[in-house]
Amino acid sequence: MKIGQCLLSFIPVRAEASDRSELVTQLIYGETYAVLETFDKWMRIEIHGDKYIGFIDKKQFNEKEFSTSDASVNVQFPRLIASSTRNVFAPIGAFIPDQSANAIQFAEAITLFKSFLGAPYVWGGKTNFGYDCSGFTQIFFRCLGISLLRDAYQQATQGATIHLLDEAVSGDLAFFDNAEGKITHVGIVLKSGEHFEIFHSSGELRIDQLDHQGIFKKNEGYSHNLRLIQRVL
């Protein structure tokens, strides 16, 4: 079985073997994957980190060059990776070989990601150029040295359940459901005294009020219904 590695800033991973197909996630620099099937123009892959399966353009395939176990997570602004063949900007959360820095503390991660407030919501996105909700939480916690699954409903199975919002602390994951009871959204709890906020990607990377009912957006009202809280730190 071929093992590939993302050696571009990011690679779109699609639901089907078509450029018009839905973007379901992204590979970012340094991430590795197994090639499950090869077609004329496409490869069906499984990403090693979260077992996510999708299709990438065959032209964007590169054989694995370095081990992510020997690499550090990029916890700075996007940095230029220069080689004899290409110059690539590695986004936050990318795996960088031969770097000394690695996981950071929660407060440092909050400061880092607050610098990207306003980054657009991108379905399937997991770079600081555009996140979906679970892509943001996955990369945020990668910077803390914690591996999360890819989608919100999958992340809701990780960690320990916190039964009341009053018992939540900064760094907990809050999950939200739709009218059918399906978990469709996730964000990071921020607590200051008795006041709660949610750091999440909804339209853009933003911070909103959080209470027992859900997410309250100023001038908009409630946008998401709170379902459960999980502690992964």
Out of 73, 101, 129, a domain closes at 101
Count of domains for the chain:
2
119 with 14, same domain?
no
Give the CA distances from residue 43 to residues 33, 58, 107, in Å, rounded to whole numbers and listed in that order: 11, 6, 39
- Domain with 79 in it: what CATH number? 2.30.30.40
On whether both 136 and 77 belong to a single domain, the answer is: no
Are 93 and 175 part of one and the same domain?
no
188 and 156 in one domain? yes
CA distances for 126 relative to 20, 54, 161, 212, 228, angstroms: 19, 15, 25, 28, 23
d(CA 99, CA 95): 9
Non-local (6+) Cβ contacts of 82 within 8 A are none
Q: Phi/psi at 107 (nearest 5 deg)?
A: -60, -40
pTM, two decimals, is 0.95
How many C-beta atoms surround the C-beta of residue 195 within 10 A? 10
CATH of the domain at 123: 3.90.1720.10
What is the per-residue pLDDT for 96? 92
Residue that terminates a domain, selected from 51, 67, 101: 101
Same-domain check for residues 96 and 158? no
- In this structure, are 193 and 113 located in the same domain? yes
Distance (Å, whole) CA 17 – CA 117: 33
Local mean pLDDT, 10-residue blocks, the chain (233 residues)? 96 97 97 97 97 97 92 90 84 87 88 97 96 98 96 98 95 96 97 95 97 92 94 95
Are 77 and 118 part of one and the same domain?
no
pLDDT of residue 70: 86
Residue 174 and residue 122 in one domain: yes
My answer on whether 112 and 79 are in the same domain is no
Do 110 and 97 reside in the same domain of the chain? no
Instruction: Give me the domain span that covers residue 67.
Output: 1-101
Q: Specify whether 74 is located in the same domain as 137.
A: no
Task: Tell me which of 101, 129, 162 is where a domain ends.
Answer: 101
Q: What is the pLDDT of residue 172?
A: 98
Q: Domain check: are 123 and 216 in the same one?
A: yes
Q: What is the pLDDT of residue 83?
A: 73
